[in-house]
Amino acid sequence: MVLAIHVFCPCLILDKMLAAEVLRDPMVLFSSAGMGFGLIVLGALLAYLIAPLVGLKLGGGRRTFAVSAGLQNYGFIAIPLVAYLYPDNDDVMAVLFTHNLGVELAMWTVLLMLLSGVLSPSWRVFLKGPIVAVLVGILVMQTGTEQYVPGTVIGLFSILGVCAIPLSLLLVGTALHDLMGKMKFDWRVGSGAVLARLALIPIVILMCAKYLPLGTELKQVLVIQAALPSGMFPIVLSRHYGGRTDVAITAVMATTIASLLTMPLVIAFGKYWVGV
């Protein structure tokens, strides 16, 4: 996990971003990060409103449900999907990482405050490999200094970066295996998470991709983000910040299993409907 987050993923990010001409456009940067931030907050709000329908109240898992259902698996599943669907388009992968910067900002500010009730998150949470790599990539492309990065360094980024995709898939599988048998599955919570994460939130994301004046690469990223199950990290957050870990695990397990059926359908429909 440490290697994936702080070595392989940053190398993959820099390998793709330093070859993405689309990142020279400030509007692409602001729209990608802005949509990543805004849609996560909107998704958490929608899940927060749904939580009472499955019997969750404040102090009884409502905030944990909102964070768990609102935050998709934006990295470990999204990266392999983008690599598979757009293997020869580094611009899409670069926009994905810029979008994920907005997701990270939302997760460590709004979602963390929602879950913990603490209104002043530490700036140290942003000193993470992927965030630093995205910021460095944006800075280099905006200043046009990528031509001064030695070829051996670019080659090193490429060699180490390709490890991120298979390792990401392995981490998802091992995390799910670790969760199985350690929880009592609540069907109401699981059904609510599937409704929010795999039905209602995808509608919102696909409508944004369809009707907002966004770049093609960002629309392609949003179609994939719309299909993703809940992310694993809310489980860790709930353990450290007083949330309901059982609610987070239920949301992750239910949406991940259900997404095996819904993910290809949402992506296929989204690509057709949005026109990407």
Q: Each residue of 139-191: pLDDT tens digit?
A: 988 888 888 888 898 899 889 988 887 887 787 777 777 766 666 778 899 99
**Structural domains counted in the chain:** 1
Q: Each residue of 231-273: pLDDT tens digit?
A: 888 887 787 777 888 888 899 889 999 999 999 999 999 999 9
Spatial distance between the Cα atoms of 111 and 93, rounded to a whole number of angstroms: 25
Q: What are the residues whose beta carbons fall under 8 Å from the beta carbon of 2, sequence distance 6 or more?
A: none
Q: Each residue of 44-62: pLDDT tens digit?
A: 999 999 999 988 887 778 9
Predicted TM-score (pTM) of the model is 0.84
Q: In terms of Cα–Cα distance, which of 20, 23, 28 is closest to 214?
A: 28
Give percent of the chain with pLDDT exceeding 90.
38
Long-range contacts of 143-150 (CB under 8 A, 24+ apart): 144/24, 146/18, 149/18
- Domain of 11: which CATH number? 1.20.1530
Distances (CA, A) of 96 to 23, 138, 185, 197: 11, 13, 33, 19
126, 128, 133, 135: CA torsion to nearest 10 = 0
pLDDT number for residue 195: 95
The residue segments making up the domain with residue 60 are: 2-274
pLDDT number for residue 229: 95
pLDDT number for residue 49: 94
Spatial distance between the Cα atoms of 58 and 141, rounded to a whole number of angstroms: 45
